[in-house]
Amino acid sequence: MKRTSTTSPWLWVAAAGVVAVLVIFACRPAPEGERRAVMTGGAVAAAETTYVPPGDLDKYYLFYSGGHSGQIYVAGIPSMRHISTIPVFSPYPATGYGFDDETREMLGGLAWGDVHHPTLSRTGAVYDGRWLFANDNAHSRIARISLRDFKTKQIIGPIPNLSGNHGSAFATSDTEMLLYASRFSVPIPIGTYAPIDDYATEFNGVVGAVNVDPETGEMSLGFQILTPPFNWDLGSTGRGPSKDWALWTCYNSERATGELEKTASANDRDYAIAVNWRAAAQAVADGKATQVGGVDVLDPKDVPGIAYLIPVAKSPHGVDFTPDGTRFVTSGKLEAITTVYSFDKMLAAIQAEDFSGEEDGLKVLDYDSVMEREVQIGLGPLHTQYDDQGMAYTSLFIDSAIAKWNPETGEVLDTVPVAYNIGHLMVPGGDSAKPWGQYVIALNKLSHGRHLNVGPSQPESSQLIDITGEKMRLLYDAFTEPEPHYAQAIPADMLHPIEVYSKEENHDPWAIWDVTEAGVTRSGNRVDVKMAAVRSSFWPNRIEVKKGDEVAIHITNIEQTTDELHGLGISDYNINLVVDPGETKHVTFTAKNSGVFAYYCTNFCSALHQEMQGYLLVE
């Protein structure tokens, strides 16, 4: 469906002006006075608040996305110390991730992903500490990490028909589904060709759902809803009264191609899409979907009532439900307007068929009927989080600040400068029905001058801010592994990770628990090695094979002692396994180079760690 363009030259000039402002402000260092002002609470008081004395532990786990590093980083709050790296979409030699058969297969031959939005599993819209999910913007995948052992257990995708899995992964109230939306529109199924001139009519976006098994967390393909070729951005899942709904905002409702910086800002308003995912799932169950690219796809033209469009301020960057699920908030990046919408009003407008337009079968709800108030909180408003008192915190990219405001009155209560150009912000539980409040973390896009100079690739930075008082108080600047996007945090006492894999739960058929069971068996040119690792030797400590053999090493760390890891590095064969206590791992490879190759333990495990070695002899 083609629409006539409303672009006028002066709008382009206006858009270019805003872009210029963005560029100028993006590089503004904080004046000394400002820097001092944020420390008015006193450096000593701030230090005391963040100091975790030796022997003490942090209060929260912080999980922040590593962007195109493909990883999730774990830190403690309030110390902000980086304590662990969870490899998700990229190999990580430190834990052997991506080197053993199982994780190599899970990565599917891809060497990176682009993690933006980790989401903690929830029950009744409250974090339950079972799983952490994360999206891959680059290859349209979603991963599940178990918080029992902080390891990636499953990667689903590339999800069919989905290009740019950015508006993802968002868990529904009881983690029945993970919802996603396409950032890019393409002709679907992926692999279909259409000329770019047909963008408005032949390209499509999708919003969709991955199902999550309530017991095991296993993800499976759910359904998709066809949308016009808008660029979907961040979303939010409802809770309480709105728990069957989810929303995403879009940019480029103009359906422009090329030079989006100008052309995609022509319209006065963009849209949010409100999706009744429960009604959509029911429509699929009722047989109303068509299979496209191997997924059930619903066309809103044929299935009314599953999705609606809502006008939002120009060039928005996401939507955020309030903890009670009665309101949702969007902000326009190019207009200093944050809009508070009423979920009840949205339902009433749907009931009354209060529509102001239509786009490819999607009815557009009348803006004035759905919104509750417009608030001006600062320049470049992006994302909003909530505390335990019902107050909202919005990141202001252009102002380089966080504003605290009351969503019920629209009153701005406080603003704190950040360094610099904040993207996301995160309050523990701030996207759930139960925010813990206490802190907000500013995930900043630029940090210049806040850390020691390490050359052109400057350190990334996050800032910890105390929100327990009326005024926000900057506490701490923390280095953040690149590329920080969104984060999640959960009280430390809600997680109880295991320390060893118990022998009883290891059902691997190749596992051995006594060094006497170790050995090499051959059948044809296949060689299987049952290997045990225990302080401070490998059993066997020599493996004799012939050039061209297919070799499979099945290694069990037979220790049941905390922190007693062993690694298996094989020189010149690019093999690097790390085996936790009680764990069995497998690596299969072709012995393609003849010679004698040492293998050794990579994790310092005992006084005789250095002696923990062996030889792979390839004849």
Query: Closest separation between CB of residue 416 and ligand CUA, Å?
Result: 47
| Cβ atoms of 110 and 139 closer than 8 Å | yes
Based on CB atoms, which residue is closest to ligand CUA, 155 or 601? 601
Based on CB atoms, which residue is closest to ligand CUA, 228 or 614? 614
Query: Closest separation between CB of residue 566 and ligand CUA, Å?
Result: 4
Based on CB atoms, which residue is closest to ligand CUA, 392 or 577? 577
**Cα within 13 Å of Cα(142), Cβ side:** 34
Nearest to 489 by CA among 451, 441, 424: 441
Joined tokens for residue 102: 């199982």
- Could you say which residues in the range 534-553 bind ligand CUA, by CB under 6 A? 536
| 59, 122, 566, 585: residue in contact with ligand CUA (rule CB under 6 A) | 566
Query: Closest separation between CB of residue 601 and ligand CUA, Å?
Result: 3
| Cβ atoms of 288 and 300 closer than 8 Å | no
Joined tokens for residue 547: 């050039």
DSSP 41: T
| Cβ atoms of 221 and 210 closer than 8 Å | yes
Nearest to 383 by CA among 362, 411, 403: 403
Give how far the C-alpha of residue 333 lies from the chain's centroid of Cα atoms, to the nearest Å. 21
| Cβ atoms of 74 and 85 closer than 8 Å | yes
Name which of ligand RUQ, ligand CUA, none residue 604 binds, using a CB cut-off of 5 to 8 Å depending on partner kind: ligand CUA
Query: Closest separation between CB of residue 467 and ligand RUQ, Å?
Result: 20
Query: Closest separation between CB of residue 398 and ligand RUQ, Å?
Result: 13
| 409, 590, 604, 619: residue in contact with ligand CUA (rule CB under 6 A) | 604
| 200, 247, 605, 618: residue in contact with ligand CUA (rule CB under 6 A) | 605
* 601 touches ligand CUA (CB under 6 A): yes
Query: Closest separation between CB of residue 424 and ligand RUQ, Å?
Result: 5
Query: Closest separation between CB of residue 609 and ligand CUA, Å?
Result: 3
Based on CB atoms, which residue is closest to ligand CUA, 528 or 559? 559
CA dihedral 493→494→497→502, nearest 10 degrees, is 100
Q: How many residues does the chain have?
A: 619
Cβ atoms within 10 Å of 87's Cβ, excluding its own: 24
Handedness of CA 92, 95, 96, 101 (dihedral sign): negative
Name which of ligand CUA, ligand RUQ, none residue 382 binds, using a CB cut-off of 5 to 8 Å depending on partner kind: ligand RUQ
Number of residues that bind ligand CUA (CB under 6 A): 8
Based on CB atoms, which residue is closest to ligand CUA, 257 or 613? 613
Based on CB atoms, which residue is closest to ligand RUQ, 424 or 585? 424
Query: Closest separation between CB of residue 613 and ligand CUA, Å?
Result: 9
Based on CB atoms, which residue is closest to ligand CUA, 474 or 612? 612
CA dihedral 388→392→393→395, nearest 10 degrees, is 140
* 609 touches ligand CUA (CB under 6 A): yes
Name which of ligand CUA, ligand RUQ, none residue 117 binds, using a CB cut-off of 5 to 8 Å depending on partner kind: ligand RUQ
- Could you say which residues in the range 518-537 bind ligand CUA, by CB under 6 A? 536
Name which of ligand CUA, ligand RUQ, none residue 609 binds, using a CB cut-off of 5 to 8 Å depending on partner kind: ligand CUA
Query: Closest separation between CB of residue 569 and ligand CUA, Å?
Result: 10
Query: Closest separation between CB of residue 273 and ligand RUQ, Å?
Result: 17
Joined tokens for residue 594: 């003849």
CB-based burial label for 514 (10 Å; 0-12, 13-18, 19+): exposed
Query: What per-residue string of b and e applies to 550-580 under the rule 16 or more CB within 10 Å gives b?
Result: ebbbbbbbbbeeeebbbbbbbeebebbbbbb
Q: How far is the C-alpha of 38 from the C-alpha of 45, rounded, in Å?
A: 12
Based on CB atoms, which residue is closest to ligand RUQ, 359 or 431? 431
What is the maximum span of the chain, computed from C-alpha positions, in angstroms? Answer: 81
Based on CB atoms, which residue is closest to ligand CUA, 51 or 604? 604
Beta strands in 430-518 (DSSP E): 439-444, 460-466, 473-480, 487-491
Q: How far is the C-alpha of 553 from the C-alpha of 361, rounded, in Å?
A: 57
Based on CB atoms, which residue is closest to ligand RUQ, 116 or 144? 116
Name which of ligand RUQ, ligand CUA, none residue 423 binds, using a CB cut-off of 5 to 8 Å depending on partner kind: ligand RUQ
Q: How far is the C-alpha of 376 from the C-alpha of 608, rounded, in Å?
A: 65
Based on CB atoms, which residue is closest to ligand CUA, 384 or 603? 603
* 419 touches ligand CUA (CB under 6 A): no
DSSP 573: T
* 585 touches ligand CUA (CB under 6 A): no
Based on CB atoms, which residue is closest to ligand RUQ, 150 or 486? 486
Residues that bind ligand RUQ (CB under 6 A): 116-117, 166, 234, 317, 382-383, 423-424, 485-486
Nearest to 531 by CA among 516, 548, 547, 549: 516
| 603, 614, 616, 618: residue in contact with ligand CUA (rule CB under 6 A) | 603
Query: Closest separation between CB of residue 516 and ligand CUA, Å?
Result: 19
Site of tokens 């009927």: 369
| Cβ atoms of 155 and 107 closer than 8 Å | yes
Interface with ligand CUA by CB under 6 A: which residues? 536, 566, 601, 603-605, 609, 612
